[in-house]
Amino acid sequence: MSNRDWQRVSQVLAVLLVVLVGVAAIVVVTRPSSGPGGPTPSPTLTALASAGRSPAPSGSPSPGASASPVPSPSDSTAPSPSPSIEPSASLSPSPEISPSPSSSASLTPTAPGVAIRFRALGFDSTSASPPVARTITFKTDGPGEVAAHMARTSAGNVRLCLARRNRTPTCAESNKIDLVDSTDAPGRSTWTVTGVGTDASSPSADLRIVFRSLTPSVTLDGFRLQGIQNPGYNGVEADLDVNSGTVHAEGTWDSPQIGWSATLTDPATSETLGNATGHGTDLLLDAAVTATTPRRVHLSLINTDPLADQSVILHAVINWP
């Protein structure tokens, strides 16, 4: 080859070299830097990696799926369960509201048992105008049972109810009834017993009320004072077990003025422990009792007139030691 030909070849090679160098420079400027393991992750993925993001599960889209939004770092860590609900024991009732292990312990009495028995007490029938219920109100001290026992009636049925104040009453309708309730209240509770006949007959029966009290007392309403010719409907005939002290009885009625007698006796000895009489619209008796053990006495509050010509309704209070 001649010198002229070599010069031409040299010129072509020089031009090609310049072109290659230019292309290489362009590639170097425009191409992202790469490491030995391949392309450098995008800034977003790098930020996630630096935040400690766990690798995507095998079923997750590959990083090349750029159309999928990239979760924020806060989504990569599952929130830990709240300590207040994580332990199963926190969902169980606390011991403070659990029922008492023994109901009998909450009913341990703190006052002695007392009783009053109304003998041959007459109840109004449906033929009375209007029928008036016999009502006995009393207070209990502390927890314990309360009961009202009506013996078999002379005839017909009675509706008898036992109720603690502001509570639903327990009632029964029959010719013989036993009602029992209880309270676990530590203080005083007020109770009522009511009774009225449910048919045209005029039933009478013994009625015994048992409760616990430190200062026994009953208040009577709706008891009739119709005269000695109306036994069962003439005031109060009641047995009490008393300790040493004073039996107190007082009563009032609206009208008319009547003769009355209030007497306290010992049925075992026929001893009269107290007696008062009068005429008017009220009565009063205070009788002293001496007893080393509970002593049974009988209290009588009656209209001494043969027959009242109108309805006489007694309101009375009886206290005993």
Taken as a whole, the chain contains a residue count of 321
Q: How far apart are the first and last CA of the chain?
A: 154
Q: Which residue has the tokens 């109306």?
A: 230
| Contact status, residue 244 vs residue 273, Cβ threshold 8 Å | no
pLDDT of residue 89: 39
pLDDT of residue 3: 57
Q: Which one-letter amino acid corresponds to residue 94?
A: S
CB neighbour burial string for 87-117, b if at least 16 within 10 angstroms, e if fewer = eeeeeeeeeeeeeeeeeeeeeeeebeebebb
Rounded-to-integer distance, Cα 147 and Cα 180, Å: 4
| Contact status, residue 181 vs residue 278, Cβ threshold 8 Å | no
Closest among 60, 58, 57 to 69, alpha carbons compared: 60
> In sequence order, what are the beta bridge partners of 205?
121
Rounded-to-integer distance, Cα 210 and Cα 117, Å: 9
Rounded-to-integer distance, Cα 250 and Cα 315, Å: 9
- The distance of Cα 147 from the centroid of its chain, to the nearest Å, equals 21
pLDDT of residue 16: 72
User: Strands of 177-183's sheet, edge to edge?
Assistant: 177-183, 144-150, 204-212, 113-122, 236-242, 295-303, 258-266, 271-280
pTM for the model stands at 0.67
Closest among 138, 145, 163 to 103, alpha carbons compared: 145
> In sequence order, what are the beta bridge partners of 201?
none
Diameter of the chain measured on Cα atoms: 174
Is the peptide bond preceding residue 130 cis, with omega within 30 degrees of 0? yes
Rounded-to-integer distance, Cα 201 and Cα 123, Å: 9
Q: What is the pLDDT along the chain (321 residues), one digit of tens a residue?
A: 555 665 676 676 766 776 676 656 554 445 544 444 444 444 443 333 334 444 444 444 433 443 444 444 444 444 444 444 444 433 334 333 333 333 444 578 999 999 999 999 999 999 998 999 999 999 999 999 999 999 999 999 999 999 999 999 999 999 999 999 999 999 999 999 999 999 999 999 999 999 999 999 999 999 999 999 999 999 999 999 999 999 999 999 998 999 999 999 999 999 999 999 999 999 999 999 999 999 999 999 999 999 999 999 999 999 999
Rounded-to-integer distance, Cα 263 and Cα 63, Å: 108
Closest among 282, 274, 321, 317 to 303, alpha carbons compared: 282
Q: How many CA atoms lie within 13 A of 277 on its CB side?
A: 4
Ordered by where they begin, the domains of the chain are: 106-213 (2.60.120.510), 216-321 (2.60.120.380)
